[in-house]
Structure 1
Amino acid sequence: MPRTKEFDYQEKLKVARNLFWQKGYQATTMNDLVDTLNINRSSLYESFGNKHALFIDCLTNYIQEKKITYQQSAAKGKSPLDAAIRIIKDIVKTILIDTKTCLAINSTFELARIDAEVAKMLKDQALQSVDLFEKLFTEAKNKGEIPQDKDPKLLAFFVVSNFASLWNADLLFSDKKILYQLTDFLIQTIRS
């Protein structure tokens, strides 16, 4: 008879995700995972697979949460442009509140060049974000909220690429005023 799991899978997944987030993928060892998850090694392998499979599950979970967060932010918008700006401002709020840099951005710089599966996941996530912004900017252009000479797709790539820059600015300079100025400049670039 199979043994029942004595822990909440989703809860342990979040604990593992936080460990990868804190230490990075490469620096996190199986011993770290066993100790932090507080389960024995055989249970870890049985429930989550190897370290890479566990990381993929953690990253998948994080990407899903980001997608939902973006959609929730956009839904608060009174217009397409307002929806896009709300997403940007909510990301900046997260940057200021959270002590950890975005897991997707961390993983991009740590793993995207050396791990094809992670690179594909992150590219797909970024393209979903680009698609969301492109739709919003196309609607905003049709409603006259942004200039007619703006290319919605290029603008969407520009905005999504700038998220890494905003996290970088906060991490390096820890200056709220600079972060707000960069955010305002990004929004002004969209509008003008």
Structure 2
Amino acid sequence: MARSKEFDVDTVLLKAMRLFWSQGYEKTSMKDLVETMGVHKRSMYDTFGDKHALFMQAMERYHETVGATVKARIQDAACPKQAIRAIFDMTIHAGDVRPEGCMIVNTACELSLLDPEAAAKVNNYFAKTEELLRELIEQGQAAGEISKKRDAAQLSQYLFNALTGLRVLVKTTKDKQKLENIIEMTLAVLN
């Protein structure tokens, strides 16, 4: 007779996600995971597989969680230009409620050259972000609030690159004014 789970899978996956996000893949030990998740090692393996499989699931959960937040911020924005600004603002104004930076960018820096599966997920998530920016730029150009003098695809590549850099920089500085200045200069390209 199969035993029922003595823990909520979503809750413990969220705990694992936060730990990986905070420490990275390599620095996070199985002992760290067991202690943080509050589950027995055997239960963790039975539910999630090995450490790598758990990490892949944690990355997916991160993408879903952040994606839902981004979607809500975009819907709350009055116009596409404000929606783009909201995406950038999220990067510098959420450190008090989550680890600094972006788990996907952290993974790109840590594992992309070593782990083809992680690299594929990172590239997929990056492509989705760049596509979202392109869609918002096109909407803003159609509405006349974003200049049409630059190609939307090239602008989205530029903005995505700047956003990725900002996601790294928030891990190294607490100077919010500096980060705000960077956002202002970056988004000036939309005028």
Q: TM tier, shorter chain?
A: over 0.9
How has the CA–CA distance of structure 1 residues 78 and 52 changed in structure 2, closer, same or farther, with 3 Å as cutoff?
same
Query: Which residue number in structure 1 is paired with residue 85 of structure 2?
Result: 85
Q: Distance in 2 between matches of 1:176 and 1:70?
A: 20
CA contact (8 A) 2:73 2:83 kept: yes
- Give the structure 1 partner of residue 113 of structure 2: 113
Partner of residue 128, structure 1: 128
| 1:36-115 superposed matches below 5 A | 36-95=36-95, 98-115=98-115
Report the Cα offset of residue 174 of structure 1: 2.2
Residue 152 of structure 1 pairs with residue 152 of structure 2: yes
How far is the alpha carbon of 1:121 from its aligned partner? 1.0
Structure-2 separation of matches of 1:72 and 1:177? 25
Q: Distance in 1 between matches of 2:87 and 2:106?
A: 20
Decide whether aligned partners of structure 1 residues 96 and 3 sit closer, same or farther in structure 2, where only a CA change above 3 A counts. Answer: closer
Q: How many residues of Structure 1 are paired with residues of Structure 2 in the alignment?
A: 191
Structure 2: distance between partners of 1:32 and 1:79 = 44
Q: Which has the higher contact order (CA 8 A, sep 6+)?
A: 2
In structure 2, C-alpha distance between the alignment counterparts of 1:158 and 1:11, rounded to whole Å: 36
Q: Which runs of 5+ in 2 are unaligned?
A: none
Summarize the Cα distance change of 1:183–1:57 in structure 2 as closer, same or farther, 3 Å threshold: same
* Separation (CA, whole Å) in 1 of partners of 2:51 and 2:5: 19
Report SS of the residue matched to 1:55: helix
Amino acid at match of 1:80: P
Q: Which runs of 5+ in 1 are unaligned?
A: none
* 2:5 equivalent in structure 1: 5
Is 1:169 matched up with 2:173?
no
TM-score (norm 1): 0.92
Deviations for 1:45-90, whole angstroms, at most 9, x for unmatched residues? Answer: 1011000000011000000112111111111122222222222223
In structure 2, C-alpha distance between the alignment counterparts of 1:35 and 1:88, rounded to whole Å: 34
**Deviates most, 79-88 or 125-134:** 79-88
Structure 1 contact 96–176 (Cα < 8 Å) conserved: no
User: Tell me, what secondary structure is at the counterpart of 1:61?
Assistant: helix
Give the secondary-structure state (helix, strand or coil) at the position aligned to 2:100: coil
- Letter of the aligned partner of 1:89 in structure 2? D
> What amino acid is the match of 2:58?
C
Q: CA deviation at 1:96?
A: 6.7
